[in-house]
Amino acid sequence: MSIERRTFLKAIGVLGVGSLSGCNQAPTDKLHAYLTPPEDVIPGVAGFYATICRACPAGCGLWVKTREARPIKLEGNPRHPVSRGALCPRGQAFIQSLYGRHRIAEPLMRVQDRLQPVPWAEAVDALAGRLAKASSVTFLSGAESGSFETVRGDFLSRFPRSRALEYEPLGMTSQAAAASLLFGRSEVPWLDLRRTHYVLSLGADLLDAWISPVHLAAEWAERHSIQNQRALRLDYAGPRRNLTATAADRWIPLPPARMGALALALAHELFLRRRDSLAPEQADLLGKALARLGPRPAAPPLEEGLWKSVLGPLTEKPGAVILYGGAECRTAEATAVHAAVLLLNLLTGAIGSSLLFDAGYVYSKLHSEKKVADAIDAAAQGATDVLLVHGCNPAGTLPASLEIPSRLGKAATVVAMAYEHSETTAAADFVLPVHHPLESWGDYDVTRTICGLMQPVRAPLYKTRMAGDLLIELSRKTGKPLAHPDYKSYVTARWAAMAASQNSQEWEKMLIDGGRFAAPAPPSRPVELIDGGLDRLPAISLETASGAGCTLLAPMTALRFDGRSRTQDWLWEVPDPVLQTAWDLPVEIAADLARQHGIADGDLVSLKGRSGAVTGLAVVCPDLCAGTAALPFGGGSAPGPEENPNPDVLRLLPPVFDPLSGELALVATGIEAAKAGTGTLARTQASSYSDDRYLCLAMDLADAQAGRYPRMVRHGEIPASEAAADHGAAVPMPADDLNQRHPHDAVHELPDHPEHRWGMTVDLDRCTGCGACIVACYAENNVPVVGREEIIRRRDLAWLRIEKHIVRHGRGQQVRWLPVMCQHCTNAPCEIVCPAFATQHTPEGLNSQIYNRCVGTRYCANNCPYKVRRFNFFDYAREVPANEQLNPDVTVRPRGVMEKCSLCIQRIREVTNRAKAESRPVREGEILPACVQTCPTGALTFGDFRQESWRATRLAADPRGYRLLDYVVNTRPGIVYLRKVNTYPAPPGA
Amino acid sequence: MSTHPSNDENLGRFTYAEVDRDILATLGTPGKGYLALLLLCLGLVALGAFSWTYLVLKGIGVTGLNNAVGWGSLITNFVFWVGIGHAGTLISAILYLLRASWRTAIFRAAEAATIFAVATAGLFPLIHIGRLWVAFYLMPYPNGRQLWPNFRSPLVWDVLAVSTYLTVSAIFFFVGLIPDIAAVRDRQKPGPVKWILSIASLGWMGTMLQWKHYMAAYVLFAGLATPLVISVHSVVSWDFAMSVIPGWHTTIFAPYFVAGAILSGLAMVITILVPLRKVFRIEHIIRPFHFESMAKLLLFTSLIVGYAYATEFFIAWYSGNPFETSVFVYRPTGDHAVAFWTMVVCNAVIPLLIFRSRIRKSLGALFVISLFVNLGMWFERFNIIVTSLGHAYMPSRWGSYTMSLTEWGIMLGSFGWFFLLFLSFIRLLPAVSIAEMKEAMPAPAKGATS
């Protein structure tokens, strides 16, 4: 058969069109945000913009990574003195609230008792009409400072009677009240751990979810580190073994009701010892204050040895810091305990060196729960015409017994300015959607000298307005225009006033730096006791009332905080480190209660109090103080994980306030616990016990200081004890020790690493288990969220996990954290068994995974001793617009392929390519995998083990180093763990 | 030729014509019972096909597998069916070379079972992979990127070993069939069936020269197939033994798996033949004597398997390796203790009854024992795979596994598929070798030519 040229071409054309039309091409119209991008937006190159994290009042600095004008990842701003480049898990997940499914897309107005979507003009006009007639306006918000304070003040000044309240569920109002009584300063002092040698924390979970977790964890880690010779020691006394308790040098189990007694006893003791060195007048006042608080207890409230060992560091050197005020210890006598603790700090000399008054700390301005509840009550009774709520959620953070939603319903006009739906927006008359903080201009001063600047990092996703602009517009509509036409002008005007010079470079520099920062200085006027309010000091109750029922604690945890982040899936998917449960918010039950009521792990347990009842899944916690149950904040159903509404502690808390400060008590008594059925807990960890496997190792400080390091164990030898369990890393680095031959190696060639050997060290002595690294990994590597049911089926996709290890420690037990990611073995078991070469060792030492070559036999995951490989059992849904957060540098994996930690190979590639283009070697610190980047304590160090001088290489050669399971499987991992160092030897006994 | 002393008696006395008539009678018009069985198998195959389609469309997540236990019932079924595929070639090749003439009556059916079992097994690696559409990456095929499979991976060895075994078994089976196909052909009226059979019989005329070449070829293939019986399950065992997983990483696996495979294969042959001889009324051809011989072999392999079980525990204790010890404590006491004890009782305890000659000679008892062994051998593989994976190095990641409905569907489908093939075979080709039966007959019968 002969074919003419024309016929051939026609046929080819038709075939070609046919085959192309078969291709199902995804719509590309919105792939890039710009048709003609601005000059500084280069497709494929990430841009970083500095702004402030508004996920809690700590005010960490952010660098927002944007690609093609879309924010995809949050990182800590290294220039910001609070975060210093790191972020907590909630900071990492903050970007999810930008793209979240609970964003409010358009204004809502209550019409016939239902919230209806209305156009902006209508909503603003209607509200302006009401404001024009209003004489009394209350503005309720979260912690705000800087320009927003100004615009709010300007706005409120237009009304005859107005006030602004700032409220945070984790405020320190009792401390401010105590300081006011003692020193005449209603302030929360700025806390600086760089000058102290000892911290005794009474329930202040400073490494977990307290006032500034990233900042405090970083300062603790730096000075507590073995490199700094344990310059700072931390003892934690509290009812719950939380992250701070596990990281502290000692955990002293102490119920909240006994904290006052301990503080008072210590204060009396120190006062006796220090009395003579004080100025007579101050000594008298101190004596008077102490006498008001209570008598000196006849016997110390701790056992003899412990008492002495706590007193020791408090007295031997000045400057020891005593902290109090975590959520799980907040009782109705918090002000009295704070007063005792402040007196203690005065006696140790911490006030003025570590606790700095006059800093203008943002916590100082906060109002108590009682004030907020009263303001809402006033509105409900018609005393307030318009109640504006912005940046806080009173209906979802105050006890249900206060009936905030129904009181808001009774109020004349409630305006909720929010970017997410919440209990408060549901009860409002006007819901005005505002920009997400990442879409807004603004500023946030943590202290007077640490001023953060916020800039929008993307165009608004929805029909929202900046909160400041909204106030300006409302004022204009009511005929009383404000000083500036828009909110950005407020910000620029304020910053222009703050700037040293008035040129535009100065503004740009502040934008790039993310603000202006200087360390808070000690106050000019010394902090002294004054005789103004001492008579009003209440007595600390020394007897623990033993009524019926158990005590309920309402802790705030690193992942849950006060519940405001519950719309962020990552924070549910990542397991709570202490309980190793994901999606569930279990009720923690002390062992004695569990025995008494026959409650076991996973049972449904009902808690009944005077003001309400909840039912939740139980976890039996042997570490919880006797007779105690704990239910962290963050439950409740709207909005949260739809599939599993968690119990809400707010339904149990009675409306009990500290009489002096009005701070809500978060410890409730008289709670009845009972078993109410059985259920299934979504746990990510099967067992925490691995004593004879030598996975999570520690050694004693005395041994480390004396150079007595554990003996190395040969491959195949079974260690006899933890002290002997070690292998490998004591070989000098980096003579490519990872290529050192074993006698066993005759049979297999190990790969060479001619140029780089990427690896990481994990310092278990610094890890607090907070989980920021896990969330960062989800964000960076497009790790899908699988949900509760799939977690129960053990199909979580986390590339990095933090294992909890409960290890025998003398007669007690120690909790240790072990972050486990792909170990990037030189002799990797997974690589040998893959039939398709889908996982390979690269010449740079990485164990790479080639998704499009993966057949999905799962043999590699079976053969991985570390179980770090994760299989895509399904195609996991990614909602619109959450898919805009996906990192374009990382493949989104389809179903049927294996995935695992790549040590952020996309970041390694980016830097090595840039170095190559610039004809220079890679510099140390240029490559930061997402987990390393965000770690507040610097537990993770990434590096090239071929570079002798790099920090990672030097750390890997530390005699504390060991490699996980290497002694038994000879995998030669590229991850080197450094043993935890126990400051105190194990208590003697079995 | 050395024969069993009572061989002649055991084979019975027939003429060539009787042999032809009785064996070829199985190829006659099928009865209602047969059709019902065929329909049942077809239904199961449809269920399996539906389940597999569902799995391909949704993902491996529709199984009970998880990140702790990456292999489950699908690989269990793979190893189970490969194991079933052992008795056939053992009986036809090894026993042929050993001149154990009792094999003549049963080897054809056993061989067919082998091929169908391996063909069933071959589906499971395809079913269990995450991306069926790229399964060809596992085959060494020339390609522009010069990318080959990883020949260090036991899975590639597996592909090669099983496909080689299937090829050689199929050729051996076919060679053995040639004279019988000719016998069927000769009874056919002219037509398309006869035409097909003429081609399939390769022009077999039964001449002396043809017989001479035929016997030489048969010995050759028997010799080729014999090492494969040993190698294929050794290689399958290396899927596990070559890993680093406690409970898998052990040198005993190759002989242990081969013995287990023969045990399960023999059990399956007994399970099939007991009803088969009844239904097709060939009790006089496949006689209790044959079953007794198989039962002795079954007992022997059961003892080996029982010994292997004990050795594993001894070594786990003797090594002092906490990882190994932990798995072997977990197996009899953990989540899957039922699987473990089923395995021990069915494979190592119940077959001991065969020591009693009354039981050995009772077809009913042997049938029941064979069913238990089939069950036990399935659980042996389940036990090895699931408990080792679910209880490996990191206690934090220990896990368990339950079969999902989809997996049940696929497993039932595989049984349907196997028996569908077998039922079709006994209707289309002689289930007992006519030629070898005739060859084995005593001289007087030979005289009475048809």
Q: Is the pLDDT of residue A744 over 60?
A: no
State whether A856 and B130 contact (CB < 8 Å). Answer: yes
Q: Which residue of B has its CA nearest to A838?
A: B150
For chain A, percent of residues with pLDDT exceeding 90 = 72
Distance from the Cα of A846 to chain B's closest Cα (Å) equals 18
Query: Best of A791, A806, A862 to disrupt the B interface by mutation (most B CBs within 10 Å)?
Result: A862
State whether A861 and B70 contact (CB < 8 Å). Answer: yes
- Give the pLDDT confidence score for residue A711 in this predicted structure: 67
- Residue A558 tokens, joined: 């690193």
Of A481, A971, A983, A471, the residue nearest A742 (C-alpha): A971
- Give the pLDDT confidence score for residue B92 in this predicted structure: 81
- Give the pLDDT confidence score for residue A14 in this predicted structure: 66
State whether A895 and B61 contact (CB < 8 Å). Answer: yes
Query: Are residues B70 and B390 in contact, defined by beta-carbon separation less than 8 angstroms?
Result: no
Residue spans per domain, chain B: 7-447
Query: Best of A802, A859, A975, A977 to disrupt the B interface by mutation (most B CBs within 10 Å)?
Result: A859
Question: How many Cβ contacts (< 8 angstroms) between chains A and B?
Answer: 162
- Please name the residue that has the structure tokens 């760089």: A194
- Please name the residue that has the structure tokens 């502040």: A510
State whether B70 and A895 contact (CB < 8 Å). Answer: no
Tell me the C-alpha distance between A471 and A489, whole Å. Answer: 13
Cβ atoms within 10 A of the Cβ of B162, count? 22
Is the bond into A639 cis (omega within 30 degrees of 0)?
Answer: yes
The A residues from 392 to 431 touching B (CB cutoff 8 Å) are none
Is the bond into A987 cis (omega within 30 degrees of 0)?
Answer: no
- Closest to B66 (Cβ–Cβ): which among A794, A869, A895? A794
Least confident interval from A103-112, A306-315, A898-907, B423-432 = B423-432
Query: Are residues A929 and A904 in contact, defined by beta-carbon separation less than 8 angstroms?
Result: yes
Strand A47-52 to A61-67 pairing: antiparallel
Q: Is the pLDDT of residue A726 over 60?
A: no
Tell me the C-alpha distance between B41 and A876, whole Å. Answer: 36
Tell me the C-alpha distance between A621 and A591, whole Å. Answer: 6
Distance from the Cα of A807 to chain B's closest Cα (Å) equals 13
Tell me the C-alpha distance between A784 and A885, whole Å. Answer: 12
Q: Which residues contact B415 (CB under 8 A, 6 or more apart)?
A: B44
State whether A686 and B130 contact (CB < 8 Å). Answer: no
Q: Which residue of A has its CA nearest to B395?
A: A687
Of B447, B34, B109, the residue nearest B272 (C-alpha): B109
Q: Is the pLDDT of residue A731 over 60?
A: no
Superfamily of domain A173-361: Dimethylsulfoxide Reductase, domain 2 (3.40.228.10)
- Closest to B397 (Cβ–Cβ): which among A686, A832, A858? A686
For chain B, percent of residues with pLDDT exceeding 70 = 94
Is A931 at the interface with chain B, CB within 8 A?
Answer: no
- Give the pLDDT confidence score for residue A298 in this predicted structure: 85
Least confident interval from A712-721, A963-972, B244-253, B330-339 = A712-721
- Give the pLDDT confidence score for residue A960 in this predicted structure: 86
Q: Which residue of B has its CA nearest to A818?
A: B396
- Residue A239 tokens, joined: 């009812």
- Band the pLDDT of B65: cuts 50, 70, 90: very high
Chain A residues with CB inside 8 Å of B71's CB? 858, 862
State whether B135 and A689 contact (CB < 8 Å). Answer: no
- Give the pLDDT confidence score for residue B5 in this predicted structure: 41
- Band the pLDDT of B284: cuts 50, 70, 90: confident
CA A481 to the chain's CA centroid:
40
- Residue A535 tokens, joined: 């008579």
Correct CATH for A691-982 of 3.90.79.10, 3.30.70.20, 3.10.20.30, 3.65.10.10: 3.30.70.20
- Give the pLDDT confidence score for residue A377 in this predicted structure: 95
- Closest to A897 (Cβ–Cβ): which among B70, B130, B395? B130
Query: Best of A580, A803, A831, A855 to disrupt the B interface by mutation (most B CBs within 10 Å)?
Result: A855
State whether B130 and A896 contact (CB < 8 Å). Answer: yes
Tell me the C-alpha distance between B180 and A639, whole Å. Answer: 75
Chain A residues with CB inside 8 Å of B64's CB? 793
- Residue A580 tokens, joined: 């190793």
**Mean pLDDT over the full length of chain B:** 88
Tell me the C-alpha distance between A689 and A692, whole Å. Answer: 9
Segment (H or E) for A590: strand A587-590
- Phi/psi for A413 (5° steps) reads -140, 120
Strand A386-390 to A136-141 pairing: parallel
State whether A820 and B65 contact (CB < 8 Å). Answer: no
- A13-17, A66-70, B360-364 — most confident range: B360-364
Task: Give the pLDDT mean for A126-153.
Answer: 94
Burial class (CB in 10 A: 0-12, 13-18, 19+), B160: middle
- Closest to A861 (Cβ–Cβ): which among B61, B64, B67? B67
Q: Which residues contact B99 (CB under 8 A, 6 or more apart)?
A: B1, B2, B3
- In this predicted model, what pLDDT tens digit does every residue of A847-894 receive, in sequence order? 999 999 999 999 999 999 999 999 999 999 888 888 999 999 999 999
Q: What angle do CA A573, A579, A583 make, to 5 degrees?
A: 25
Query: Are residues B396 and A685 in contact, defined by beta-carbon separation less than 8 angstroms?
Result: yes
Is A895 at the interface with chain B, CB within 8 A?
Answer: yes
Of A405, A438, A362, the residue nearest A141 (C-alpha): A362
- In this predicted model, what pLDDT tens digit does every residue of A374-418 receive, in sequence order? 999 999 999 999 999 999 999 999 999 999 999 999 999 999 999
The A residues from 732 to 761 touching B (CB cutoff 8 Å) are none
Query: Best of B57, B60, B66, B67 to disrupt the A interface by mutation (most A CBs within 10 Å)?
Result: B67
Task: Give the pLDDT mean for A14-40.
Answer: 58
Task: Give the pLDDT mean for B63-68.
Answer: 95
Q: Is A886 helix (H, G, I), strand (E, B) or coil?
A: coil
- Residue B113 tokens, joined: 């079972």
Tell me the C-alpha distance between B429 and B23, whole Å. Answer: 10
Segment (H or E) for B7: helix B7-11
- Residue A786 tokens, joined: 């699988």
Angle between helices B253-279 and B363-382 (to 10 degrees): 140
Helical H runs in A499-556? 504-513
State whether A693 and B59 contact (CB < 8 Å). Answer: no
Q: Which residues contact A306 (CB under 8 A, 6 or more apart)?
A: A252
Query: Are residues A530 and A342 in contact, defined by beta-carbon separation less than 8 angstroms?
Result: no
Task: Tell which wins on pLDDT, B428 or A814.
Answer: A814
Task: Give the pLDDT mean for B392-404.
Answer: 95
State whether A858 and B130 contact (CB < 8 Å). Answer: yes
- Give the pLDDT confidence score for residue A644 in this predicted structure: 54
- Residue A181 tokens, joined: 């009584």
Amino acid of residue B232: V
In the Cβ-directed half-sphere of A462, how many Cα atoms lie within 13 Å? Answer: 24
Q: Is the pLDDT of residue A723 over 80?
A: no
Is the bond into A881 cis (omega within 30 degrees of 0)?
Answer: yes
State whether B60 and A896 contact (CB < 8 Å). Answer: yes
- Give the pLDDT confidence score for residue B434 in this predicted structure: 78
- Band the pLDDT of A503: cuts 50, 70, 90: confident
Secondary-structure class of domain A550-678 per CATH: mainly beta
Q: Which residue of A has its CA nearest to B244?
A: A863
Is A965 at the interface with chain B, CB within 8 A?
Answer: yes
- Band the pLDDT of A156: cuts 50, 70, 90: very high
Helical H runs in A27-119? 89-98
Q: What is the DSSP letter of A960?
A: T
Radius of gyration of chain B from Cα atoms? 23
Distance from the Cα of A853 to chain B's closest Cα (Å) equals 8
- Give the pLDDT confidence score for residue A57 in this predicted structure: 94
Tell me the C-alpha distance between A828 and A738, whole Å. Answer: 12
- Closest to B396 (Cβ–Cβ): which among A685, A836, A968? A685
Query: Are residues B87 and B262 in contact, defined by beta-carbon separation less than 8 angstroms?
Result: yes
Distance from the Cα of B70 to chain A's closest Cα (Å) equals 6
Tell me the C-alpha distance between A508 and A514, whole Å. Answer: 10
Query: Are residues A577 and A771 in contact, defined by beta-carbon separation less than 8 angstroms?
Result: yes
Give the pTM: 0.92
Chain B residues with CB inside 8 Å of A861's CB? 67, 70
Tell me the C-alpha distance between B230 and B226, whole Å. Answer: 7
- Band the pLDDT of A714: cuts 50, 70, 90: low
State whether B393 and A866 contact (CB < 8 Å). Answer: yes
Is A229 at the interface with chain B, CB within 8 A?
Answer: no
- Give the pLDDT confidence score for residue A524 in this predicted structure: 80
- Closest to B67 (Cβ–Cβ): which among A692, A794, A803? A794
Task: Give the pLDDT mean for A668-675.
Answer: 92
- Give the pLDDT confidence score for residue A747 in this predicted structure: 53
Burial class (CB in 10 A: 0-12, 13-18, 19+), A918: exposed
Q: Is B75 helix (H, G, I), strand (E, B) or coil?
A: helix
**Mean pLDDT over the full length of chain A:** 89
Task: Give the pLDDT mean for A163-182.
Answer: 94
Chain A residues with CB inside 8 Å of B141's CB? none
Distance from the Cα of A682 to chain B's closest Cα (Å) equals 13
Q: Is the pLDDT of residue A721 over 80?
A: no
State whether B398 and A695 contact (CB < 8 Å). Answer: no
Q: What is the DSSP letter of B251?
A: T
CATH assignment, A108-166+365-445+450-517: 3.40.50.740
Query: Are residues A822 and A848 in contact, defined by beta-carbon separation less than 8 angstroms?
Result: no
Tell me the C-alpha distance between A790 and B375, whole Å. Answer: 31
Residue spans per domain, chain A: 108-166+365-445+450-517, 173-361, 550-678, 691-982
Ramachandran assignment for A632, one of left (phi > 0), alpha (psi -120 to 50 degrees), beta (any other) = beta
For chain B, percent of residues with pLDDT exceeding 90 = 61
CA distances from B22 to B27, B201, B280, B282 (A): 10, 21, 9, 7
Of B78, B160, B159, B71, the residue nearest B118 (C-alpha): B78
Residues A532-554 as b or e (16 or more Cβ within 10 Å = b): ebbeebbebbeeeeeeebbbbbb
CA B119 to the chain's CA centroid:
10
Of A815, A579, A590, the residue nearest A690 (C-alpha): A815
- Closest to B392 (Cβ–Cβ): which among A695, A833, A865? A865
Chain A residues with CB inside 8 Å of B249's CB? none
What ipTM does this complex have? 0.92
- In this predicted model, what pLDDT tens digit does every residue of A175-221 receive, in sequence order? 999 999 999 999 999 999 999 999 999 999 999 889 999 999 999 99
Residues B200-217 as b or e (16 or more Cβ within 10 Å = b): bbeebeeeeebeeebeee
Tell me the C-alpha distance between B47 and B275, whole Å. Answer: 25
